[in-house]
Structure 1
């Protein structure tokens, strides 16, 4: 299974503007740029999208862990905070901090902690944040 998203950028790093589109159409030409990434202007940014992906992936992974244990959550609410820090001349994403609040009938704290830990380690986005990244680059003008 493959899912894709497309970023289109025009202009310089600080003054340029970009648009993000996802295969599903949930994002369609959504604006992003320096101002949405570093100045909290309206629009999205890569870190916000990573945070949404990590929160969603982890929460779904935990739902499957619970299902395997014969349990069902009434509600799970996960916040992911992705941290972008200055790193020399650039920036580095240094962490994704997950905070979970869950209403799960019939589970004790030890089992809850165990299943949440398994979900955090095994959700595909957690694995991606530790994965090898590949790049195929083509220059269309010289």
Structure 2
């Protein structure tokens, strides 16, 4: 059973990496002339800061909180997986923290999605790779948390 927790801890670290990449890159929304991220927009090779509205602030805050809790959950799952005895509380606690981190990431992404959905449904506007990385991070966090809890 420790193997499951070690694997879920590794998956949680992947989730954390995916979300950090999503936060740092300007690929959340694409238009024919620009790419917008949470912090910067790129238009014609020129980088500029994004004026932070409610969607960006909520997405940034919840994703960062989710990442911090997800890191703690991954560490707990890895410690629980490394222990030899069955029923380690570290792995279960790590799984619960991972689920909480995943829910926080989802709240940030859902609010961003809801506020920009009308914009993206215009012609020639689409969600970008950073947006997809963030949703994959959410899925990995939830799956890793469940595996860590069940692998007890």
| TM-score of the pair, normalised by structure 2 | 0.29
Higher gyration radius (CA):
1
* Higher-helix-fraction structure: 2
| Highest RCO, 1 vs 2 (Cα 8 Å, sep ≥ 6) | 2
| TM-score of the pair, normalised by structure 1 | 0.31
